[in-house]
Amino acid sequence: MRTSTETTLIHNGCIVDGTGEKPIINGVLIIEDGKIAYVGSAQEAPQVSESASRIDALGGTVMPGLVEAHFHATYFNIAALEDLDIKYPVEYVSLLSSVNARLALECGYTAARSGGSLFNVDFWLKKAIEEDMIPGPRLASSGREICSAGGLMDWNPEFRKIGMEGLVFIINGQEDARKAVRALVKDGVEWVKTYPTGDAASPDINDHHTLCMTFEEMNAVVKTAHNHNLKVTGHCRATEGIKNALRAGYDCIEHGTFMDDEALELLLERDVPCVPALYFEKASILLGPKFGLPQQVIDGHQETLDGGIESARRILRAGGRLGMGGDYGFGWNPHGDYARELTFFVNDVGLEPLEVITCATRTGAEIMGRDDEFGTLENGKLADVLIVDGDVVADISVLEDRSKFIAVMQGGVMKAGRLADPFPTAVNREQ
Ligand SMILES: [Zn+2]
């Protein structure tokens, strides 16, 4: 991804740097060659040359780009399980994923960690974004997910004679687990997404208290993935599934819904981050009836929501790390609504806005393993910067409104927001 070669000075803004430190009122941010060269008070800011471009933040907020830590570029308007896989071909999924990537960037998400991808779309999407062919977040890719036979994602009855070829590897035992990971290694992805547990979405046989993989299978996934420097995460709701994942050496926990003391201890022992993705549960409860979700499913989502809130709060209060991401791409939880997760964590979970911003920026970059490059506004880091027309700390829901973005920058290059060029020159014509 190209970076700016100019000097840019952003002034008249309140700087929230993503570390959790208190905001700098009337701050200045200077960008040189795509990287942050100064962040601090206006009084102490060094002089910049006459030719430097200046951006007035209009008294709003200057902050790091957001990191969507559970992004599904390939999910689109899912209302039923069929929509996840068998309804659409890879061609259509690929096209829509590029639309979702652009939308995420326009919403202020300058980076994203995938929570699972149909086919091998993520890998190629990432390549197109990195080569500036498609605007989108800096992506940590995943590929087809892994679930044991009969588990949450293996929902087609046998008589249909179809698997979930685009979405999951259905495995039986450790050999299959290794085989699936090896296929992902060859596909070039960075994250292996698994299904240790079920979900409220499947109340009959794979609900949120059931296990969908054995410890041995999960262990085989981790050993194989780590050998090739891939990271492993998993959909973990049931308590025992969370513990299995942590004991097997998972690098991240998705949801972490029903944590007991022992699970929390295991999580803190290795400081494993957790991405609760909770607004999805609330949206399922609020809008589920409109989409025809059965009452039993909605009740399950309520139990998941209550358990998830409690666990998330405990993790953060005990010194653990939370990433902000949200399973967007469902009918009731569409792409573009990403920042609702942040508002939810302030209003419904009771975290401080600065805590939530740190989760959504620094922790997101840490989960991606790229916190030395971005995630905070600090000297030497890539200038992935948002300028927001509004006080984000006073009202975090400002981030839900795309029209409030004055600038969305990656590496100092203006990519979206009011100041962005609506007709950027295509990269291949520039050369
Ligand atoms: Zn997901």
What are the sequence ranges of the domains in the chain?
7-64+376-430, 66-367
Q: Percent of the chain, pLDDT > 90? A: 90
pLDDT in tens, 19-36: 999 999 999 999 999 999
pLDDT at 430: 46
Provide the greatest CA pair distance for the chain: 72
**179 CA to centre of ligand 1 in angstroms:** 22
| 307's tokens | 């358990």
pLDDT in tens, 224-240: 999 999 999 999 999 99
**117 CA to centre of ligand 1 in angstroms:** 9
pLDDT at 161: 79
pLDDT at 79: 85
pLDDT in tens, 151-167: 999 988 888 877 778 88
pLDDT at 427: 54
**76 CA to centre of ligand 1 in angstroms:** 12
Amino acid at 276: P
pLDDT in tens, 290-304: 999 999 999 999 999
Return the CATH class of domain 7-64+376-430: mainly beta
Min mean pLDDT across 162-166, 284-288, 325-329, 413-417 is at: 162-166
Q: Which of 170, 173, 165, 235 is nearest to 198 (CA)?
A: 235
Backbone angles phi, psi at 229, to 5 degrees: 65, 25
66-367 is classed CATH 3.40.190.10:
no
Q: Percent of the chain, pLDDT > 70? A: 98
Instruction: Using a CB cutoff of 5 Å, list residues around ligand 1, an ion.
Output: 115, 327
pTM: 0.96
**177 CA to centre of ligand 1 in angstroms:** 20
Mean pLDDT of the chain: 95
pLDDT at 155: 85
pLDDT in tens, 184-223: 999 999 999 999 999 999 988 999 999 999 999 999 999 9
| 176's tokens | 């299959």
pLDDT at 431: 40
pLDDT at 426: 56
Provide the pLDDT confidence category of residue 373 given band limits of 50, 70 and 90.
very high
Summarize the confidence of residues 268-283 as an average pLDDT: 97
pLDDT at 272 over 50: yes
Provide the CA 232 distance to its chain's centre, in angstroms. 15
**420 CA to centre of ligand 1 in angstroms:** 31
Rg (CA), the chain: 21
Provide the pLDDT confidence category of residue 124 given band limits of 50, 70 and 90.
very high
Summarize the confidence of residues 82-87 as an average pLDDT: 80
Summarize the confidence of residues 313-335 as an average pLDDT: 95
pLDDT at 350: 96
**45 CA to centre of ligand 1 in angstroms:** 43
Q: Give the strand pairing for 66-71 and 385-388.
A: unpaired
Provide the pLDDT confidence category of residue 142 given band limits of 50, 70 and 90.
very high
